Structure 1
Amino acid sequence: MKNLTFAVAFLFSQIALANDFLPSVIYKLDARFTHHVIVVEKSTHTLYLYQYDEPLPRLLKKYQIATGKIIGNKKVQGDKKTPEGVYFFQNFHSAEDLIKKYGETGLIYGAGAFTTNYPNIIDRMQGKTGGGIWLHSTDDDSRVQKGLDSRGCVVAIDEDLKDISQYIDLTNTPVVIVQDLAFLSEATWQTNKEELLGAVESWSKAWVEKDFETYINSYSPTEFTSSKGGYQAYKRYKRAVFARDDKPIIDFRNISALTYKNYAVVTIEQDYSSDVIQDIGKKTLYLKKDENYQWKIVFEGFQKIKEQSNIAFTPSMRFFETVAKKKEIANDSGSI
């Protein structure tokens, strides 16, 4: 009876932990771009799938995976380590595509592979090298049971990769890779969230109101880089833009915020309209904390999108349905 009481108490304590503690890498998701996020914990070889929900992210599913043969954070090409950080899925390669490109070697990727943008801007700032970090399956499921078995990729069994693929939206869905996934109390998590989103709100408000000093103070004077050059070049460029007589109308919506250790990645749907420019797109901010623990922007990117969409993302087997249809067409010789 005592054992049963202990088991029940333990079960309820685990439920309480799941409800009261939140992942330290996810602070906000959104319905447009970051409707789902994949979190890979290397130490336990677990892939967590989280879904956008308000007010808190919701854990949807968990899967077993394998990672690089060598423990540690990837630094150079060929070190067989899985990188850690915030990345985005870029493209999908079907099994057919992989076999065409790599021959029989392509079989090791199983049903298909999703590429990532490793090395990201933070990795490049740190001098990291290498590439070809994918989420893929395998032609030998026993590899996943080994845990440490890839050359740096994240590997799932075929069935799981197909299930995970339903929630991937190329160039939008992030994957956060960590050695150990930390969980925070809701109070601490909320404080961290407010600090990060507060810095982003200060930046966006200053831009709308053409408050140049507050705006430019949102950027790191020592680490910021852009297509315009470093901080000083960007400062001169923006000072000239702010000096124009026009007052642009800027709308920000669908904000997401993810972190890895000392940096954060924030994505925003940005609708900008002025006498000179009119466009809608996805703004991506990379931020790091300075010596005073203040979030500062170190890089920003912008990707135009055709128009605002109010259609909610719907999970589907679209990546593998396409493959199945191709095979069906190839095998159909017609009928009389």
Structure 2
Amino acid sequence: MRSWFKIATCLAAGLYLAPPANSMHWQRGSPVPPQLTERAPSLAADTHPERVIVAALTAVRQNRLDDANRLIDALLATRPNYRLAHLIKGDLLLARAQPLNQLGNATPTSADKLNDLRQEALMRLARYGAPTPTTQIPANLLQLSPSQEYAVVVDASSARIYVFRNDQGTPRYLADFYATIGKLGFGKSKEGDQRTPLGVYFVTGHMPRAELDQRYGVQAELYGVGAWPLSYPNEWDRQQGRTGHGIWLHGVPFDTYSRAPQASNGCVALSNADMSALAAMLKPGTPVVITPTIEWLKPAEWQVRQQAARAEIDAWRRDWESLDTPRYLSHYGRNFRVGNTDLNSWNAQKAQVNAGKRWAKVALNDLSLFFYPTADQPMLMANFEQDYRSDNLENQMRKRLYLQREQGDWKVVFEGAGR
């Protein structure tokens, strides 16, 4: 039997030409099983539209056109603005006169718009061809702090957003949604490049539709139910000279159910219904990791990586607290830089400060740890409330550390206040 993933992969050449699966294991989150399509109206009302559209595409590929018709008609009755569903409906009408060979046989639309809809169908099918490993954890989420009730991971390559709840520091899968990213993909580096950034960001607030209307007028229609701004550019982005602003999670125009996988100016967009569902889990400080692809770890593997990352941060804290300056400074890499301060200046400054102290205590509270998504060498990011006390200074601040691999060891390459 050919696997669902292989079937979904070959859809790029023609969504209706791929051979059908002979059987399917139905689980929660799977498309609607064939034997239930006679209940299409109630299913379309009670089931997520994505599951219904995938079931309809599957029915077409299995030559169950009556089932596909019932599903699409019921879906359009509840989601009349679902353009992909209209495209499939046109094909089903054409199928009465001639065989179907690819998605969009009957639609007189531009090649670009047709390709967008085909790509959306492919991405949605792929979600069910390779089901989410819900018992596993993304490598990017190494530890969530007590203040972070939820975390979001955007898999940019698969146009998918995953939501995790915080179970005493361990991320647990909660939900996932189809999403749109930048027109030119990901890896943002400058203003206006129409790419979605890669990195670890935090929700900074909420802009309801009324506020967007007041600020942007008719342009606010682009954002649908509202927008949730992210902290791009972060400290590392600015250090690397990346520019731009206004990277948000937001909805879509009300005249369409969803947009193509790559259609925004750099933001991450969801259908209005999905954005509203996600919004219930977003508040200022919620982490949003945008990564090219997700590395899924079994719980035991994740625990090993989490403990190793925590050990690195705790060793840095202990060695700073010890006032053993050479040992403390050994945690900083040759590429360390904060503004105009390079490693040599940092070392001289810290040696002078430590020389004037008799004791120091450093506590790291509300700690969260992330394996930072980059296009080159691996990075860690630590986010915490720092409580520093010594015989001549007391200081509390929100701080971020960024670490890179250097000759097999993690070294701090940026240290500074976190917004």
Instruction: Please say whether Structure 1 and Structure 2 have the same fold, judged by a TM-score greater than 0.5.
Output: yes
Q: CA deviation at 1:9?
A: 10
Instruction: State the Cα deviation string for residues 267-287 of structure 1 (Å, max 9, x = none).
Output: 122222234332333221111
Q: Does 1:80 align with 2:194?
A: yes
Q: CA deviation at 1:57?
A: 1.4
Query: Does the CA-based 8 Å contact 1:285-1:299 persist in structure 2?
Result: yes
Give the letter for the 2:234 counterpart. Answer: N
| Secondary structure, aligned partner of 2:362 | strand
Superposed counterparts of 1:1-336, under 5 Å: 7=25, 17-19=133-135, 21-32=136-147, 34-54=148-168, 56-140=170-254, 142=256, 144-170=258-284, 172-221=285-334, 223-226=335-338, 229-259=341-371, 260-261=373-374, 262-290=378-406, 292-302=407-417
Cα pair distance change 1:297/1:158, threshold 3 Å: same
| Secondary structure, aligned partner of 2:187 | coil
Write the distance in 1 (CA, Å) between the matches of 2:344 and 2:171. 38
Number of equivalenced pairs: 295
Write the distance in 2 (CA, Å) between the matches of 1:97 and 1:210. 51
Larger radius of gyration: 2
Write the distance in 2 (CA, Å) between the matches of 1:119 and 1:30. 22
| Secondary structure, aligned partner of 1:249 | strand
| Secondary structure, aligned partner of 1:130 | coil
Write the distance in 2 (CA, Å) between the matches of 1:79 and 1:8. 42
Cα pair distance change 1:254/1:55, threshold 3 Å: closer
Write the distance in 2 (CA, Å) between the matches of 1:173 and 1:109. 20
Write the distance in 1 (CA, Å) between the matches of 2:413 and 2:149. 25
| Secondary structure, aligned partner of 2:392 | coil
Query: Does the CA-based 8 Å contact 1:199-1:218 persist in structure 2?
Result: no
Query: Does the CA-based 8 Å contact 1:41-1:180 persist in structure 2?
Result: yes
Query: Does the CA-based 8 Å contact 1:141-1:157 persist in structure 2?
Result: no
Instruction: State the Cα deviation string for residues 205-253 of structure 1 (Å, max 9, x = none).
Output: 11122121221111112x2122572211111111112112331232223
Write the distance in 2 (CA, Å) between the matches of 1:86 and 1:203. 21
What TM-score do you get using the length of structure 1 for normalisation?
A: 0.78
Cα pair distance change 1:112/1:57, threshold 3 Å: same
Query: Does the CA-based 8 Å contact 2:189-2:242 persist in structure 1?
Result: yes
Write the distance in 2 (CA, Å) between the matches of 1:123 and 1:168. 23
Higher relative contact order (CA 8 A, sep 6+): 1
Query: Does the CA-based 8 Å contact 2:163-2:174 persist in structure 1?
Result: yes
Q: CA deviation at 1:5?
A: 9.6
| Secondary structure, aligned partner of 1:242 | helix
Q: CA deviation at 1:147?
A: 2.0
Query: Does the CA-based 8 Å contact 1:136-1:155 persist in structure 2?
Result: yes
Give the letter for the 1:220 counterpart. Answer: G
Cα pair distance change 1:202/1:142, threshold 3 Å: same
Q: CA deviation at 1:66?
A: 1.2
Give the letter for the 1:181 counterpart. Answer: I
Cα pair distance change 1:232/1:94, threshold 3 Å: same
Give the helix-richer structure, 1 or 2: 2
Cα pair distance change 1:18/1:204, threshold 3 Å: same
What TM-score do you get using the length of structure 2 for normalisation?
A: 0.64
Q: CA deviation at 1:257?
A: 0.7
Give the strand-richer structure, 1 or 2: 1
Write the distance in 2 (CA, Å) between the matches of 1:75 and 1:303. 21
Cα pair distance change 1:286/1:185, threshold 3 Å: same
Write the distance in 2 (CA, Å) between the matches of 1:216 and 1:281. 21
| Between 268-277 and 253-262, the greater mean CA deviation after superposition | 268-277
Write the distance in 2 (CA, Å) between the matches of 1:245 and 1:278. 12
Query: Does the CA-based 8 Å contact 1:254-1:269 persist in structure 2?
Result: yes
In percent, how many aligned pairs have the same letter? 28
Query: Does the CA-based 8 Å contact 2:155-2:291 persist in structure 1?
Result: yes
Residue 328 of structure 1 corresponds to: none
Give the letter for the 1:26 counterpart. Answer: L
In the alignment, structure 2 segments of 5+ residues that lack a partner are 1-20, 31-129
Q: CA RMSD in A?
A: 2.8
